[in-house]
Amino acid sequence: MALTLNEEQQLLSDSAKDFFSKSMPVSLLRELRDNDNELGYSESHWKEMIELGWGGIVVPEAFGGLDFGYQGLGVVLEEAGRTLAASPLFTTCVLGGASLALAGSEQQKSELLPLIVSGELLFALAIEESATHGPKRTKTSAIKIDKGYRITGDKTFVLDGHIANKLVVVTRTSGEAGSEEGLTLFLVDRDSSGIEITQRKMVDSRNASDISFRDVEVSSSEMLGTLDQGYSVLDNVLSIAQICYASEMLGSMQEAFERTVEYIKTRVQFDVPLGSFQVLQHRAAKMYVEIDLCKSIVIAALSALDDDANANELGQHASLVKAKVTETFNLVSSEAIQMHGGIGMTDEEEIGFFLKRARVAEHTLGDIRYHQNRYGDLIGI
């Protein structure tokens, strides 16, 4: 397994870096926030991303995609993380795309994957029901009726829930909360009768919503995968998502680190640059080493995705990378604020955006403790 990018992946990385730095800098996120943008992202920039082919990076060619692999998508997400770019790329192409690819019928894939590639369809995964990540604790019910199923329950922290055209909803069709058995995934149109969506203003300016389902009826043809056996598919979807999300976090932490190093090189205190103080050099060196380690485990995890690793191995990669990248992102963002001093605490300085993103990212798709426990379970300790 190579821990470096090949020529094509490097070209894609360079192209993404150029696009995000020029077209979607951190200042764009500030603008969306300050203008209280209803969508939370720029439709024109999303269209440009689709035109670049990024909507189909991991979609098979048979469905109109590029089939370029997760290492390709990973480098795009990494560059998006550097500018905290707001777009439906993660929720639609990773969460939605993976759900369809792993659980969708041939008809569902033929109808919906091309719409993801073209940017005509936006997805969101409705899974969380409490303040902490816990797929097995799902209580939202799907009860069998004559024409299909009736869904009732509440979901929270649904990324991009208010802009999605379709929701992948995790429901319980049998069993008790806490059990792997009895989970079933459904595709639900966001305009279905009985759905109420409340947009939430996240501290890091990322889109999230609370969604209530009140006797929402869906046909049996909207089921993703097998009745009562949705957990194994969901677990794989989440592993893919955690690895891809870690790629984005890696980009954010690298940007925060590089900005901080540049700041202490140029900021003069006591007539010398801050970077001349040995204690700050030591702290910067620690961050550099930790980031380099994160680069290795991220590319290893992305490689495992492209090599079709089995579920257990993939889960190990996912939990390892999410826990370690979260830990390092917290370290780097905190050190960045401290090394910037007082100005780092102001909204005027962009470094604060990275601290906010780190704190929200920590709890997205499972925090450090969740993934430490999961990793231990997967390796049998």
Based on the domain organization, do 90 and 222 belong to the same domain?
no
Which range marks the domain in which residue 192 is found?
A: 124-228
CATH number at residue 78: 1.10.540.10
DSSP string over 231-282: HHHHHHHHHHHHHHHHHHHHHHHHHHHHHHHHHHHH-EETTEEGGGSHHHHH
This model's pTM is above 0.85: yes
Query: For the chain, where are the alpha helices, taking DSSP H only?
Result: 7-23, 26-34, 43-51, 70-82, 97-103, 106-117, 230-266, 278-306, 311-340, 351-363, 368-379
Domain count within the chain = 3
Based on the domain organization, do 133 and 114 belong to the same domain?
no
Asked whether residue 80 is domain-assigned, the answer is: yes
Distance CA 59, CA 54 (A): 10
Based on the domain organization, do 207 and 244 belong to the same domain?
no
* pLDDT (tens place) for every residue of the chain, 381 residues total: 566 788 999 999 999 999 999 999 999 999 999 999 999 999 999 999 999 999 999 999 999 999 999 999 999 999 999 999 999 999 999 999 999 999 999 999 999 999 999 999 999 999 999 999 999 999 999 999 998 999 999 999 999 999 999 999 999 999 999 999 999 999 999 999 999 999 998 999 999 999 999 999 999 999 999 999 999 999 999 999 999 999 999 999 999 999 999 999 999 888 889 988 999 999 999 999 999 999 999 999 999 999 999 999 999 999 999 999 999 999 999 999 999 998 999 999 999 999 999 999 999 999 999 999 999 999 998
Based on the domain organization, do 199 and 238 belong to the same domain?
no
Based on the domain organization, do 223 and 276 belong to the same domain?
no
Based on the domain organization, do 43 and 78 belong to the same domain?
yes
CATH number at residue 246: 1.20.140.10
Based on the domain organization, do 254 and 331 belong to the same domain?
yes
